[in-house]
Amino acid sequence: MTDSTGLQKGIESPYTLGQVEAGSPCCEPVAHLQIRDLTIAYHGLTVLSGVSLDVYRGCITALIGPSGCGKSSFLACLNRLTDLLPGAHTRGEVRLDGQNILAPGLDVKQLRQRIGMIFQKPNPFPLSIRRNLELPLLERGIRQRIEINRRIENVLRDVGLWDEVATRLNSPATRLSGGQQQRLCIARALILEPEILLMDEPCSALDPLSSAVVEDLILRLRGRYTVIIVTHNLAQARRIANYAAFFWVTEQSGKLIEFNRCQSLFEAPQNSLTEAYIAGTKG
C-alpha cells in the first residue's frame, strides 16, 4: 500500500512510522460534509462559484487543479478560516451533521475543534514541542497533567514522532526538521480529536523523503478521519485519495469541473478539461 511513497525503495528512513493503521476504504459512502452551491468572493470578486459536492466520511478527498482556481479558498471556507481574510464573503451551504457551518451565529471555535487544518508551510508555534501540543488543550479547559500527557503521547505516537522526540519534549519545536515540524502540526491538530482534517498542500514545502513520510501518515489517517487535501502533485492525489475533485477557472471564477472516485477520475475522466489536465496538456 505504501510502495509508492519511496520508503520501501531501499532508502533507509530516519523516521519511525505511526501506529494508526489505514482503515477500510469507504465502500459505502456516507456524506460527512455536504457542500451546496458554494460561492466565495474577495472584495466582490468571485473566486469560486457554484460548487456542490459531498465529502465522504473516513475517506481522503483530493482537490486538484491549477493555481488560482479557488481550491485553497474552498478549503479555508470549510472551517471558517475565511473569516480571517479581509473582504472574504461566502454564499451557499456547507452542512456538517445537518447544520450549516456558514451560518452567522455558529460557534466557530467549536467548529474548528471538529475540523482541523494543516497548512502548506509547517507552522509550529515558537514554543517547546510539549507546549505546542498543550496550548490547544489548555484552551479547551483540559488541565489535568495526566490527561494532557496521555494525549500528547498518543498523538505523537499516531504521527510517528514519539520515538524521535520523546526525550526532548521540552526543546524548541522550531529546531525540528521540516517533515518533523509538519507531523507535529498534524499531531497538534489531532490532539483536539477532530473528525475532519483539511490539508492545504501539506507536502509541498518538504523535501522528498519528509514528504513521503507525511504522505504515508495521511494514508494511515484514512478511516479514522475524513481528510480533504489540496495537492498539486497529481501522482500523490492518485496514490492516496479515494475521491478527487477537479477545479478549473472558467469565466474568471473557479468551478468544480468533475468529482468522482479517484480511480475513475484519473482513468476515465468524463470531462475533456479533466482529461487534458491530468494528461498534462493543459494547466
Partner 1 sequence: MADRFFLLTLWLIAGLVTLTFAWLLGDILIKGVPAISWEFLSQAPSRAGRQGGIWPILVSTVLILSVAICVALPLGLCSAIWLAEFTRRDGPLGRRIGLALDILAGVPSIVIGLFGYAFFSGFLGLGFSILSGGLTLACMMLPILVRTAESGLTAVPDEWRHAAAALGMRRGSVLWHVLLPAAAPAITAGLLLAVGRATAETAALIFTSGYVDRMPESLSDSGRALAVHIYDLSMNVTGGDQAAYGSALVLVTLIIVINLLANLLSLYWAKRKVTLA
**What residue ranges bind partner 1 (CB under 8 A)?**
79, 81, 84, 86, 108-113, 116-117, 119, 121, 123-128, 135-136, 139-140, 172-175, 185, 188-189, 192
- Residue partners of 40: CB distance under 8 A and separation at least 6: 46, 47, 48, 49, 70, 73, 74, 77, 82, 88, 89, 90, 91
Which residue number, 221 or 278, has a Cβ lying nearer to partner 1?
221
| CB of residue 126 to partner 1, shortest distance in Å | 4
- Separation of alpha carbons 129 and 176, rounded Å: 9
By C-alpha distance, which of 17, 70, 25 is closest to 243?
25
- Residue partners of 93: CB distance under 8 A and separation at least 6: 34, 35, 36, 37, 38, 100, 102
Dihedral angle at the C-alpha atoms of 33, 196, 60, 76, nearest 10 degrees?
80
Which residue number, 30 or 108, has a Cβ lying nearer to partner 1?
108
| CB of residue 203 to partner 1, shortest distance in Å | 17
Q: What are phi and psi of 146, to 5 degrees?
A: -60, -45
Which residue number, 198 or 217, has a Cβ lying nearer to partner 1?
198
| CB of residue 103 to partner 1, shortest distance in Å | 17
Within 10 Å of residue 135's Cβ, how many Cβ atoms?
Answer: 14
All three cell numbers of 155: 498523538
Which residue number, 23 or 136, has a Cβ lying nearer to partner 1?
136
| CB of residue 8 to partner 1, shortest distance in Å | 32
| CB of residue 117 to partner 1, shortest distance in Å | 4
Which residue number, 194 or 269, has a Cβ lying nearer to partner 1?
194
Give the angle 246-247-248 at the CA atoms, nearest 5°.
Answer: 125
| CB of residue 79 to partner 1, shortest distance in Å | 7
By C-alpha distance, which of 204, 190, 113, 155 is closest to 19?
155
Which residue number, 58 or 124, has a Cβ lying nearer to partner 1?
124
Which residue number, 52 or 110, has a Cβ lying nearer to partner 1?
110
At position 141, the amino acid (one-letter code) is G
| CB of residue 174 to partner 1, shortest distance in Å | 6
